[in-house]
Amino acid sequence: MAPERWELLYRQEFARVYRGLLAVLRDPDRALDALQDAFAAGLQKPPADGDDLAGWLFVVAVRSARRGLRRSFVRLDQVRSHVSKDEIEASLDRMEVGRLLAGLTERQRAMVVAQFYLGLDHREIARHFGVKTGTVSATLAQAKARMRAEVRNVS
C-alpha cells in the first residue's frame, strides 16, 4: 500500500480509534503515542486487504501502549499542547460509560470498546487480539457482569 493511501485511511479512522483509546487508556498522550505507533507499524507492514482498519489500528495501538513504547517522531512540547490527562479523566468520570469502564481492567476495557464502540464482533476481536473466540466471550462476560453490578450499586 502506498504511504499516501495509508495516511488517508488512517486519517479517516483517526477520530474513532483515538476516542476508543482514550476510553481504554484514560490518557491523551498515551493514546496519541500508541495510535501514532500503529500508524508507523502500518507504514512498515500494512494490514491485509479487507481487514477492518479501525479494529486493526485499535489493537495495534493497545498493544503498543501496553509495551509502553514511546514514539520518537513528535516533540514533547507538541504532545503537551492538547487536552490534559486530568481533563480527559474528568470528562470520562462525568459519562455513564466512562464510569462503568473505569471499574474494568485495561484488557476488559479494550474488548468492551472494540465491541460496543468500534462495532467488532467476537470473532474479529479474537483475530485482532490474537486470542481464541472463547477467551473474548469470557472476558466480555466478566466485563458486562461487573458493569451490571456497578449499575445496580448506583441505582
Partner 1 sequence: MFPELSIERVFRRELDSLPLPDERLWVPDPRATRPAVVVVSLRRRRT
**Residues at the site binding partner 1, with contacts judged by CB under 8 A:** 7, 10-11, 14-15, 18-20, 22-23, 28, 32, 36, 39-40, 71-75, 78-79, 81-83, 87-88, 91-92, 95-98, 113, 116-117, 119, 144, 147-148, 151
CB 67 → partner 1: shortest distance, Å?
A: 17
- What is the SS3 string spanning the chain? CCHHHHHHHHHHHHHHHHHHHHHHHCCHHHHHHHHHHHHHHHHHCCCCCCCCHHHHHHHHHHHHHHHCCCCCCCCHHHHCCCCCHHHHHHHHHHCHHHHHHHCCCHHHHHHHHHHHCCCCCHHHHHHHHCCCHHHHHHHHHHHHHHHHHHHHHHC
Q: Which is nearer to partner 1, 6 or 107 (CB)?
A: 6
Q: Which is nearer to partner 1, 117 or 129 (CB)?
A: 117
CB 130 → partner 1: shortest distance, Å?
A: 24
